[in-house]
Amino acid sequence: MQRVTLYTERGDFAEMTLYDLHAPVLYSYIYRRVGQPQDAEDLLLEVFTAAFKYDNLAGLESQQQLAWLQSVARRRIIDRYRHNAHIMLLPLEQALETYDDEPTPEEHALRRETHERLHTALAQLPPLQQEIVRLRYGNGLRFAEIASMLNKSEGTVRKMMVRILRQLHNIYNSQ
């Protein structure tokens, strides 16, 4: 950090870093505007990071340095407020109320209509095909289990299911 030589009130010389010289004043300037110690410390760090990158700052007088640092601080505070204006914070209870997995009335109506069409299409299949669909998708049985219940091979049940689904698809889409 850049070092600054100052005259003290007693006429002595004192060497201080730019941070030591201006941080207390800047911190209070920032804190009065943001109201949170953590935010003020973060912004102070951002200001001195910018100062570290500005090579000509060491050549300025103390009051000019402080003015430059305050202008950087003011811009950082404004940026922080702009950023925070885009973020909407809600209490946890309210956030949980706004986020729910419940379908909307429109989604309920569409789902009900889709189910009705599917049931109508299923009713048009022969009883054996209806039973296979019910066992596979209603009861969640595997093809091997369905095959043993129907005394058929697993391969035969798989082929039947492909044909049933194709037929069901055609009936569903023709409605």
Residues 82 and 10 in one domain: yes
Residues 110 and 82 in one domain: no
User: Domain span at residue 120?
Assistant: 105-174
Residues 115 and 49 in one domain: no
pLDDT in tens, 42-62: 999 999 888 888 878 778 888
Query: pTM value?
Result: 0.44
CATH of the domain at 74: 1.10.1740.10
Residues 166-171: contacts with CB under 8 Å, at least 24 apart: 167/125, 167/129, 168/121, 168/122, 168/125, 168/133, 171/121, 171/124, 171/125
pLDDT in tens, 109-144: 999 999 999 999 999 999 999 999 999 999 999 999
Please give the tally of structural domains in the chain: 2
Does some domain include residue 114? Answer: yes
Residues 77 and 111 in one domain: no
Residue with more model confidence, 170 or 84 = 170
What's the mean pLDDT in 85-90? Answer: 67
Residues 117 and 72 in one domain: no
Residues 112 and 169 in one domain: yes
Residues 80 and 118 in one domain: no
DSSP class of residue 124? T
What's the mean pLDDT in 17-21? Answer: 82
